[in-house]
């Protein structure tokens, strides 16, 4: 049984933690560690346009901010979960399951996709600036 008193705070903890990691993955890892040129080369090596590096960096960073602030959390978490499924397949599937494999396996992005989908089902939780509209409820 879900505890109705603490569940909103569990969702808050999940969304803020995930938001911080998405900001770090988008803005810090892609820009400061790998550089945008290096990230673009990696994307090109996957058969994607190198300009996707900028797009992914932006939506990971903006999505992370939206999660932290509690803005349209269900939709943002759903979008980022699908993004992570593609990342697991395109960027990590050939490396095997374990993320400790060279190049990182698909274990970790698949786990994060599941966490995103769980958050999409839970909703934003406590202290959200702009709650998602539950199905069937008018604004």
pLDDT digits (tens, 9 = 90+) for 62-73: 999 999 999 999
What pLDDT is recorded for position 17?
A: 97
What are 88's two structure tokens?
Answer: 């697991």
State the DSSP code for 94: G
What are 65's two structure tokens?
Answer: 């901010």
Residue 71 sits at φ, ψ, to 5 deg, of -110, 115
Give the model confidence (pLDDT) of 87-129 as tens digits: 999 988 888 888 788 888 889 999 999 999 999 999 999 999 9
CA dihedral 96, 41, 34, 36 (to 10 degrees): -140
Q: pTM surpassing 0.95?
A: no
SS3 71: strand
């Amino acid at each position: 049984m879900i505890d109705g008193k603490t569940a909103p705070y569990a969702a808050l903890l999940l969304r803020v933690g995930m938001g911080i990691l998405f900001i770090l993955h988008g803005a810090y890892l892609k820009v400061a560690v790998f550089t945008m040129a290096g990230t673009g080369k990696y994307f090109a090596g996957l058969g994607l346009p190198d300009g996707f590096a900028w797009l992914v960096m932006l939506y990971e960073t903006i999505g992370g901010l939206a999660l932290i602030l509690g803005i349209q959390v269900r939709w943002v978490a759903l979008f980022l979960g699908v993004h992570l499924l593609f990342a697991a397949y395109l960027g990590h599937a050939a490396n095997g399951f374990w993320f400790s494999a060279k190049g990182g396996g698909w274990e970790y992005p698949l786990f994060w996709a599941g966490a995103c989908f769980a958050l999409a089902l839970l909703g934003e939780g406590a202290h959200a600036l702009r709650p998602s509209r539950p199905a069937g409820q008018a604004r």
